[in-house]
């Protein structure tokens, strides 16, 4: 009888250990603090090529240095780029600015942006690129659009994810790309990929955009499996008892869900036939409004989202090596 009891108990322990969520240790306070800084009024909504955006770039560079990420561009994290809006006056491109007389006749507008890129070296030459855009909508009608969820949340997550992996053995190079100008057409992500050497070595893009706001059921979506169904197994292995990881928002014929295939920077990779998984939440009441602030994110949900994404990266790092 005692032997049967011991066997039964051992079986329960095996079942329990298999279903138990994996323990992911991160500095949650630092994660939240970085999000709070990135969505502060002092950065004036981080609009492309505006002073607040440039201040944001410097903050991200410091964080990448603190983690100890390798640089990729002449010992520099900053990948600067310019973009010319052909046939458009500056006040048409940047409507938040007041038109000035000396700009009224300018037919082309050139603006300077910048991606911040860092890397953890893996055991192979294959690469997983983790992207998050840091720009947002700036100031409109006197209101600051801080973009806490969109996308200070994804940007702050980059620092925490990099910190988690920096002393762990990894098979793939992990490139952390804080990209600019997503809100006006993914200009930063496009520039990054166009100028990436050995593009054929990129096996996956993981894009983080809006991962901190879930008002009702704690649900995070992973989009992309419709296009890349072979990526399902690593995601199905993820365990969390604090949020639901759902798949979807990627099938054009699904009339019940919006299709996110081209909704953020992962579209740049998809067009180049590079597989992607996009982590995000559906549009909510604060999306692209001045109320998207640190006060309106769901802190517990955000922390768990980052832990789930870390699990995904770990699983993909192993799965894509086989």
pLDDT digits (tens, 9 = 90+) for 123-152: 999 999 999 999 999 999 999 999 999 999
Lowest mean pLDDT among 89-93, 164-168, 205-209, 300-304: 89-93
Lowest mean pLDDT among 40-49, 101-110, 144-153, 205-214: 101-110
Sign of CA dihedral 132, 282, 50, 272: positive
User: In angstroms, rounded to a whole number, what is the distance separating the alpha carbons of residues 14 and 27?
Assistant: 29
pLDDT score at 1? 41
Q: Is the pTM of this model over 0.75?
A: yes
CATH number of 27-82+111-319: 3.40.630.10
User: In angstroms, rounded to a whole number, what is the distance separating the alpha carbons of residues 114 and 78?
Assistant: 6
Q: How crowded is residue 197: how many other Cβ atoms within 10 Å of its Cβ? A: 6
Residue 261 has pLDDT above 70, yes or no: yes
- pLDDT level of residue 105 (50, 70, 90 thresholds): low
How many residues are present in the chain? Answer: 322
Average pLDDT over residues 10-39: 77
């Amino acid at each position: 009888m005692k032997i049967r009891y011991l066997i039964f108990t051992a079986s329960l322990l095996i079942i329990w250990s298999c279903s138990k969520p994996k323990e992911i240790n991160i500095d949650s306070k630092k994660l939240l603090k970085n999000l709070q800084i990135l969505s502060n009024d002092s950065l004036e909504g981080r609009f492309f090529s505006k002073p607040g955006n440039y201040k944001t770039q410097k903050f991200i560079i410091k964080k990448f240095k603190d983690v100890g990420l390798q640089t990729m561009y002449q010992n520099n994290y900053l990948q600067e780029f310019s973009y010319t809006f052909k046939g458009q006056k500056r006040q048409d491109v940047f409507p938040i600015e007041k038109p000035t007389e000396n700009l009224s006749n300018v037919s082309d507008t050139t603006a300077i942006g910048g991606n911040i890129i860092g890397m953890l070296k893996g055991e192979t030459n294959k690469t997983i690129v983790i992207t998050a855009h840091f720009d947002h909508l700036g100031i409109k009608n006197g209101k600051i659009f801080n973009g806490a969820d969109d996308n200070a949340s994804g940007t702050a997550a980059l620092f925490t994810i990099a910190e988690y992996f920096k002393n762990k053995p990894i098979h793939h190079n992990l490139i952390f790309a804080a990209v600019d100008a997503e809100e006006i057409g993914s200009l930063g992500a496009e520039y990054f990929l166009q100028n990436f050497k050995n593009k054929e070595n990129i096996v996956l893009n993981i894009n983080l955009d809006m991962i901190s706001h879930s008002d009702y059921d704690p649900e995070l979506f992973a989009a992309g499996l419709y296009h890349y169904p072979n990526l399902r197994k690593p995601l199905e292995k993820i365990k969390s008892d604090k949020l639901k990881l759902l798949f979807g928002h990627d099938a054009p014929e699904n009339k019940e869900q919006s299709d996110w295939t081209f909704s953020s920077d992962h579209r740049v990779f998809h067009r180049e036939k590079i597989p992607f998984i996009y982590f995000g939440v559906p549009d909510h009441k604060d999306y692209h409004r001045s109320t998207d602030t640190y006060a309106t994110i769901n802190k517990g949900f955000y922390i768990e989202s980052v832990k789930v994404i870390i699990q995904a990266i770990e699983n993909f790092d192993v799965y894509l090596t086989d």
